[in-house]
Amino acid sequence: MAPVPQFIDLPLLIEQRGTISGEFALALMPRLLEITVDDSGSVWFELAFGRDDQGIHCITGQYSVSLQAYCQRCLNPVSLCQSGKICLAVVTDRIRMQELPVHYEPLLHDSGSLSLVMLLEDEILLGLPIAPAHSIAECPSDSLMREYSTVRDTPFTVLKNLKFIK
Ligand SMILES: [Zn+2]
């Protein structure tokens, strides 16, 4: 099987209603590696390119990845398996972004080649839990740690508290 290209000619693929599937090593995704224990593992994906009924240029498909992150309770490695659907509308400017049907995520891209690796890395980062953790039953942290972790402020609790400030 031919290796999957890291960069693609997006307009051409949309024109030809092309499909691409394959696997990329996590080692190619530096932003993802900032939260993983090591660079082992890979991302599997399949993507279809084309136009929808309204003529919107779109990329649809799915991915799945398994990786090791650090549990935010005990700081030991925790295995995360994640899969997600991809439904992107390719737009060339921010004005068109606001006109998109809600089921699309916008992908700003005006011309030239597109990094498939970065596209997938973005999707994975968006889908990952903010604070990866073992389930309570599996987490080796002691009960004191558990209590601590429940009161610790995550970005979400900070935001939630902000809403009540008048
Ligand atoms: Zn843990």
User: Within a domain: residue 130?
Assistant: yes
Mean pLDDT of 55-74: 95
- For residue 75, the CA-to-ligand 1 centroid distance in Å is 6
- For residue 156, the CA-to-ligand 1 centroid distance in Å is 20
User: Within a domain: residue 160?
Assistant: no
Q: Determine the structural domain holding residue 97 and report its residue range.
A: 7-135
pLDDT at 166: 43
- For residue 154, the CA-to-ligand 1 centroid distance in Å is 16
Look up the pTM and report it: 0.79
User: Within a domain: residue 164?
Assistant: no
Number of domains composing the chain: 1
- For residue 141, the CA-to-ligand 1 centroid distance in Å is 6
- For residue 157, the CA-to-ligand 1 centroid distance in Å is 20
User: Within a domain: residue 131?
Assistant: yes
User: Within a domain: residue 2?
Assistant: no
- For residue 80, the CA-to-ligand 1 centroid distance in Å is 12
Are the beta carbons of 68 and 41 closer than 8 angstroms?
yes
Mean pLDDT of 58-74: 95
User: For residue range 88-128, what is the model confidence (pLDDT) as tens digits?
Assistant: 999 988 777 778 899 999 999 888 899 999 999 999 999 99
